[in-house]
Structure 1
Amino acid sequence: MNWLTNTVLPKIRALGAKKEVKDNLWTKCPACAQMVFQRDLDAAQRVCPHCGHHMRLGAKARLEMLFDDAQWTRVPVPDVPMDPLKFRDSKRYSDRMKEARARSESPDAMTVGLGRIGGHPAVVTVQDFAFMGGSMGLAVGEAFVTAALKAVSERCPLVVVTASGGARMQEGILSLMQMPRSTVAVQRLREAGLPYIVVLTDPTTGGVTASYAMLGDIHIAEPGALIGFAGPRVIEQTIRETLPQGFQRAEYLLEHGMLDMVVHRHRLKEALARLIGLLTVREQVQAVAEIDIPEAAPTAN
Structure 2
Amino acid sequence: MKARDIIDLVVDAGSFESWDEPPLDVNPSPAYRDALGRAQDRSGVDEAVVTGEGTVRGRRVALVVCEFAFLAGSIGVAAAERVTAATERATASRLPLLASPTSGGTRMQEGTLAFVQMITISAAIAAHRDAGLPYLAYLRGPTTGGVFASWGSLAHVTAAEPGALVGFLGPRVYEALYGEPFPPGVQTAENLYRYGVIDGVVPPERVRLLVDRALRVLADPPTPDAAPVSAITDADAFDPEPAWESVLASRRPERPGVRLLLRHAATAQVPLSGTGQGSDDKTVLLSLARLRGTPCVLLGQDRDGQTMLHTMGPGALRDARRGMHLAEELGLPLVLVIDTLGAALSREAEEEGLAPEIARCISDLVTLDTPTVAVLLGQGTGGGALAFLAADRVLAAQNSWLAPLPPEGASAIVYRDTAHAPQLADEQGISAPELLRHGIVDAVIPENPDAATEPVDFVKRVGAAIAHELAALDALPATERRAARHARYRRLGAR
Q: TM-score, normalised by structure 1?
A: 0.69
Taking the aligned partners of 1:118 and 1:249, their CA distance within structure 2 comes to 31
For 2:97, which of 158, 182, 187 is the aligned residue? 158
Q: Which secondary structure state, in structure 2, belongs to the residue aligned with residue 164 of structure 1?
A: coil
For 1:77, which of 12, 21, 24 is the aligned residue? 21
Q: Which residue of structure 2 lines up, in the alignment, with residue 197 of structure 1?
A: 136
Q: Which secondary structure state, in structure 2, belongs to the residue aligned with residue 152 of structure 1?
A: helix
1:112 corresponds to 2:56 = no
Q: CA deviation at 1:103?
A: 2.3
Matches within 5 A, 1:133-282: 133-232=72-171, 234-235=173-174, 245-281=184-220
Q: Which secondary structure state, in structure 1, belongs to the residue aligned with residue 101 of structure 2?
A: strand
Taking the aligned partners of 1:101 and 1:205, their CA distance within structure 2 comes to 22
Q: CA deviation at 1:148?
A: 0.7
Q: Match for 1:173: what amino acid?
A: T
Taking the aligned partners of 2:50 and 2:15, their CA distance within structure 1 comes to 15
Q: Stretches of 4+ moved more than 3 A in 1?
A: 232-245, 281-286
Deviates more, 1:108-117 or 1:241-250: 241-250
1:63 corresponds to 2:7 = yes
Q: CA deviation at 1:80?
A: 1.0
Q: CA deviation at 1:227?
A: 0.4
Q: Which runs of 5+ in 2 are unaligned?
A: 224-294, 296-330, 332-473, 475-495
Q: Percent identity?
A: 36
Q: CA deviation at 1:129?
A: 0.6
Q: Which residue of structure 2 lines up, in the alignment, with residue 94 of structure 1?
A: 33
Determine if contact 1:83/1:171 at 8 Å carries over to the other structure: no
Residues 169-200 of structure 1: per-residue CA shift (max 9 Å, x gap) = 11111211211001110111022110111110
Q: TM-score, normalised by structure 2?
A: 0.43
Q: Which secondary structure state, in structure 2, belongs to the residue aligned with residue 202 of structure 1?
A: coil
Q: Which runs of 5+ in 1 are unaligned?
A: 1-56, 290-301
Alpha-carbon RMSD: 2.4
User: How many residues of Structure 1 are paired with residues of Structure 2 in the alignment?
Assistant: 226
Residues 21-48 of structure 1: per-residue CA shift (max 9 Å, x gap) = xxxxxxxxxxxxxxxxxxxxxxxxxxxx
Determine if contact 2:23/2:47 at 8 Å carries over to the other structure: no
Matches within 5 A, 1:27-46: none
Taking the aligned partners of 1:239 and 1:102, their CA distance within structure 2 comes to 35
Q: Match for 2:36: what amino acid?
A: M
Taking the aligned partners of 2:37 and 2:176, their CA distance within structure 1 comes to 36
Residues 260-280 of structure 1: per-residue CA shift (max 9 Å, x gap) = 111111211111111122112
CA gap 1:171/1:244 in 2 versus in 1, 3 angstroms: closer
Q: Which secondary structure state, in structure 2, belongs to the residue aligned with residue 163 of structure 1?
A: coil
Deviates more, 1:199-208 or 1:226-235: 226-235
Determine if contact 2:96/2:133 at 8 Å carries over to the other structure: yes
